[in-house]
Structure 1
């Protein structure tokens, strides 16, 4: 089954992706599926590395270029950013500027969270930045985090993470920690708009599947309609 169908992504939808452990890969995997038959906007409200040329058909690196690309009828992946910084990162759009572009595209995919390359995180007061026009918020979590130590090397915004999960530095991340991370008001779906979809990534072998099912069972016991759907797999 196609990824977009698993995630219930429909034409006209605006999808924001949050969390850590595969956001950019998920965004471009979805865009690639839609590339041939749709006009797809890929952008961010934070920062992402400028993608490789094979990942897109058109790229606008400043606001002054948007009007030209908005008027094109060609199908493909359009990457928009406000500028490029000295680290070759595409600076994202604020929500006002982003929302002015939405009507020109069949699908809109937005990376709305940052994690500094780490696979798990806590959240600052100002993040994630999610447009109110969003239809689906996908929260991504990597199963590889369970069993890792809580320390600065593994966790982005460690203090916030420990507050959310009632954990201490040096603890081993477990299923209860992740369940708290998912359901806490300042956790994975903080500021979420529209349907909440949990994507569990890096499920690569039988032991990962067993662990993932244990996590899902724990989530289902606490869900009460908070999460609309759960998908697990491995993004390549």
Structure 2
């Protein structure tokens, strides 16, 4: 099986993860693989992300100076940076700080969206927060939403109701998920001409036949790289 960094086609520079359904776990899986290759990696956020566990990262810096970052990367090739630490989360850094990180580490992985632990979302007015220097955007979607009422599985449900033209009790279908992925007011918002890959996570929760049909339909509507994954199960592959 290919590494996740290969499936997602992650290159040096800034990669931003948006959407819902496994952004943080995907980011730290990528970071772990890069660290195993002795690459220098900084994980950060332009919104908020939970303070990492010791298994995810041993060094967390809050609003560090450039020299502190350089010294930390000499101690450990994977570090996490936030602007502040509040209520168990680290908070957003600026574009200028990310540009500084890019000078110091080979890879900068950014969590650029919030989803309140829900598998799907429609971005709010000021979302996602994609740094200017981003070279690649990874859109994450959780299949846990399939056949579940919109009101129970979608962050910013009112926006999703408007986009899909449905009620809150509507059961999310495969085509609904594809619409969210491909819409310019959905998960395409803010990406513009940047390179992108879609990561369909939580595939272990749906039947193989359903997944196959969904994959083929998505491939017809989405022309960039598609990765199917069960990140927490350690499984991923590209759709051919």
For 1:118, the equivalent position in structure 2 comes to 118
For 1:211, the equivalent position in structure 2 comes to 210
For 1:156, the equivalent position in structure 2 comes to 155
Q: Determine the C-alpha separation between the residues in 2 that align with 1:191 and 1:212.
A: 28
SS in 1 for 2:18: strand
Stretches of 4+ aligned residues off by more than 6 angstroms: none
Q: Determine the C-alpha separation between the residues in 1 that align with 2:209 and 2:77.
A: 38
The within-5 A match list for 1:175-194 is 175-192=174-191, 194=194
Q: Give the number of the structure whose residues are more often strand, by fraction.
A: 2
- Aligned alpha-carbon RMSD (Å): 1.7
Question: Structure 1 residues 70 and 114, CA, compared in 2 at 3 Å: closer, same or farther?
Answer: same
For 1:16, the equivalent position in structure 2 comes to 16
For 2:8, the equivalent position in structure 1 comes to 7
Alignment of 1:107 onto 2:107: yes
The CA deviation at 1:59 is: 1.4
- What TM-score do the two structures reach when normalised by structure 2? 0.89
Q: Determine the C-alpha separation between the residues in 2 that align with 1:114 and 1:27.
A: 14
Contact preservation (8 Å) 1:143, 1:212: no
Aligned length in residues: 228
- What TM-score do the two structures reach when normalised by structure 1? 0.90
Contact preservation (8 Å) 2:121, 2:155: yes
For 1:230, the equivalent position in structure 2 comes to 226
For 2:60, the equivalent position in structure 1 comes to 59
Contact preservation (8 Å) 2:119, 2:143: no
Q: Which runs of 5+ in 2 are unaligned?
A: 233-240
